[in-house]
Amino acid sequence: MPIDWKQYRSEGFYDEIIGPRGGPRRSARHLARHLAQMDAAELTARQAAADLAITEMGITFTVYCDESGGAIDRAWPFDIIPRIIPESEWRRVEEGLKQRVTALNLFIDDLYHEQKVVRDGVFPEAVLKSSSNFRPQCVGVDPPYGVWAHICGSDLVRDADGTFYVLEDNLRVPSGVSYMLENRLVTKRVFPELFEDYAPLPVDDYPSQLFDTLATLSPRPADYPEVVVLTPGIYNSAYFEHAYLAQQMGCELVEGRDLFVDDDDCVYMRTVDGPARVDVIYRRVDDLFLDPEAFRPDSMLGVPGLLRAWKAGNVGLANAPGAGVADDKVVYSYVPELIRYYLDQDPVIPNVPTLRCMEPEVLKHVLTNLDTLVVKPANESGGYGMIVGPASTQKEREAFAVQLRKDPRNYIAQPTLRLSTVPTVVDSQVEPRHVDLRPFILSADRQYVTTGGLTRVALRRGSLVVNSSQGGGSKDTWIVPQGEE
């Protein structure tokens, strides 16, 4: 039986494809009409074709453990129905993302220099002192252009009224951009005919944009830079992405053991032709494991002396060590004030209303209302360590409350959002599933924002958890020039 959009219901939520009266949004009319011509068998066949393409293309992600324990690779979960956003709406989002990352970089640079934001009472000294990602080793360092977070992935959500909100900022080693690129390729293979009606803005220039951004960090600007991607290795959950980006940029993929810092405080790569100097490192290794000489001495992943080489200006590092001080969900709650403080502007994209559990009265409120709130640790990612109140049991809330009382500085609370939905293929039918969106912002001598980003989808009915490590999937995201609501 063909899809009947009149039977499609996303009650109380903003649906990205179907409007509140049951008809498709203007920008999605061709898509809705095309899908309505398909029956269950064809939908199933198209989804199977996508799954086969993903297997053939070797698109995987790694979860650190399953019920049997141990790291395992899984095929990337992908839904064939794309999400569509009109370009005119997207340009406003793009403006807001650039504004946000500009303020965050000014904030990080300020923290490692004068700390005016603290002295002026805009940002609490207590939050800075208790930050687990502030690196005293980076105080006084001047990275090129004053930029610390060269690659940022900010998570966006829409609430029931269709307004975009920033849910969090990822400034350490944000992942997912490779899946954004591969999703487009798979969609083209599965729905080639759709591209006769649509011309979604391209995303395939990201690797060249990334390389150009990294190249500007080279200490030898007159030469073609030697750029490498530093990975923790094959057991990292994002290893596919590390290898993919290195291959797309035409760079070497290296591990810490492949590099060394010589007596001249320069970084070299071991090659069959002898040492080759490295100019820029796109590091996908966390700060604490980056350099055993400066951080954890037991790290087997890093390069001894790397921080010394960076401080001497002999190598570019992206993201810079210490950038994670702003990748803290408590810091996130201050971003609107930081935008006003550093840029004298109002935020273009609002934050999700956020409660800081470190404030005693707020903590009391959160503990009383755990069943209605989403509570997250300040420095975790991947959906780990959080509780979604309405989906939790009394036993889970009691156990979580113990953790919360022990370390309230480490938690923020947010209302349970009514995340927007997108039609998704489920058992040969189409049902609404909740989504978020992670665009990527590059910063150095200029800024670049991906046209769209990675749409993550909660594949389980009613679930709001979109992380792939928690059972989520993804969709292609189309920014289309035609049509407005």
**Percent of the chain residues past pLDDT 90, beyond the cut:** 75
- What pLDDT score was predicted for residue 462? 81
455 pLDDT above the threshold of 70? yes
CA dist 196 → 30, 31, 203 (Å): 10, 11, 18
**Band of residue 485 on the pLDDT scale cut at 50, 70, 90:** very low
Record the tokens describing residue 112, joined without a space.
């490692």
Q: Do 151 and 440 form a contact (C-beta atoms < 8 A)?
A: yes
CA distance 358 to 96: 28
Beta strands in 276-335 (DSSP E): 276-277, 280-283, 316-318
SS3 401: helix
Closest Cα to residue 381, out of 78, 127, 175, 181? 175
Residue 330's Cβ-side half-sphere holds a number of Cα atoms within 13 Å equal to 24
**H-type helices in 297-393, by residue range?**
306-311, 329-332, 335-343, 360-368
CA dist 85 → 6, 15, 474 (Å): 22, 11, 16
What amino acid is encoded at 312 in this protein? A
- Burial call 379-400: b when 16+ CB within 10 Å, e when fewer: bebebebbbbbeebeeeebeeb
CA distance 287 to 274: 28
- What pLDDT score was predicted for residue 321? 96
* pTM over the 0.85 mark: yes
- What pLDDT score was predicted for residue 479? 96
Position of tokens 């805009």?
A: 122
142 pLDDT above the threshold of 80? yes
382 pLDDT above the threshold of 70? no
- What pLDDT score was predicted for residue 484? 43
Q: Do 79 and 477 form a contact (C-beta atoms < 8 A)?
A: no
| Other beta carbons less than 10 A from residue 163's beta carbon | 12
- What pLDDT score was predicted for residue 329? 92
- What pLDDT score was predicted for residue 383? 64
Over residues 168-193, the mean pLDDT reads 93
Over residues 394-423, the mean pLDDT reads 92
Q: Dmax of the chain from CA atoms?
A: 71
The better pLDDT of the pair 419, 70 is held by 419
Residue 202 phi, psi dihedral angles, 5° rounding: -70, 155
| Other beta carbons less than 10 A from residue 119's beta carbon | 11
- What pLDDT score was predicted for residue 85? 96
**Helical packing angle, 239-249 and 206-215, nearest 10°:** 80
Q: pLDDT tens, 181-206?
A: 999 999 999 999 999 888 999 999 99
- What pLDDT score was predicted for residue 67? 52
DSSP code per residue over 115-152? -HHHHTTSS-HHHHHT-SS--GGGTT---GGG-S-SEE
Record the tokens describing residue 77, joined without a space.
């979960």
Domain ranges of the chain: 220-314, 353-415
**Band of residue 1 on the pLDDT scale cut at 50, 70, 90:** low
Q: pLDDT tens, 264-277?
A: 999 999 999 999 99
Q: Do 160 and 418 form a contact (C-beta atoms < 8 A)?
A: yes
Terminal CA-CA length for the chain: 29
CA distance 151 to 55: 28
Over residues 314-324, the mean pLDDT reads 96
Q: pLDDT tens, 322-365?
A: 999 999 999 999 999 999 999 999 999 999 999 999 999 999 99
Instruction: Say which residues have a Cβ less than 8 Å from residue 304's Cβ, sequence separation at least 6.
Output: 260, 261, 291, 292, 293
- What pLDDT score was predicted for residue 61? 75
**Percent of the chain residues past pLDDT 70, beyond the cut:** 96
CA distance 81 to 426: 11
Could you write out the three-class secondary structure of 165-221?
A: EEEEEECCCCCCHHHHHHHHHHHHHHCHHHHHCCCCCCCCCHHHHHHHHHHCCCCCC
74 pLDDT above the threshold of 90? no
177 pLDDT above the threshold of 80? yes
Q: pLDDT tens, 458-479?
A: 988 888 778 776 778 899 999 9
Q: What is the CATH number of domain 353-415?
A: 3.30.1490.270
- What pLDDT score was predicted for residue 39? 86
User: What average pLDDT is seen over the chain?
Assistant: 91
SS3 416: coil
CA distance 440 to 102: 14
CA distance 465 to 474: 12
5 pLDDT above the threshold of 60? yes
CA dist 240 → 7, 166, 229, 246, 452 (Å): 39, 27, 12, 10, 21
**Band of residue 381 on the pLDDT scale cut at 50, 70, 90:** low
- What pLDDT score was predicted for residue 331? 94
Q: Do 462 and 13 form a contact (C-beta atoms < 8 A)?
A: no
- Most confident option among 19-33, 189-203, 327-341, 373-387: 327-341
Residue 253 phi, psi dihedral angles, 5° rounding: -95, 120
Pick the CATH number of 220-314 from 3.90.650.10, 3.30.10.20, 3.40.50.11290, 3.30.450.20: 3.40.50.11290
CA distance 76 to 57: 10
Residue 475's beta-bridge partner residues? 455
